[in-house]
Amino acid sequence: MEATFCQSCGMPMTTADQFGTNKEGSANHDYCVYCYKEGAFTEDVTMDEMIDHCAQYLDEFNKESEKQMSKEEAIAQMKQYFPTLKRWKK
Q: In this structure, are residues 45 and 53 in contact, taking their beta carbons and an 8 Å threshold?
A: yes
- Split into its structural domains, the chain has a count of 1
Q: pLDDT band at residue 2, thresholds of 50, 70 and 90?
A: low
Does some domain include residue 16? yes
Task: State which residues form the domain around 79.
Answer: 4-84
Confidence (pTM): 0.89
Percent of the chain with pLDDT over 70: 98
SS3 31: strand
Give a yes or no: residue 89 inside a domain: no
CA distance 38 to 79: 28
* Residue 1 confidence (pLDDT): 56
Q: Say whether 32 sits in a helix, a strand or coil.
A: strand
| 27-70 tens-digit pLDDT | 999 999 999 999 999 999 999 999 999 999 999 888 888 889 99
Burial of 13 (0-12, 13-18, 19+ CB in 10 A): buried
- For the chain, give the mean pLDDT: 94
Residue 45's pLDDT is 98
90 in any annotated domain: no
Determine, yes or no, domain membership for 42.
yes
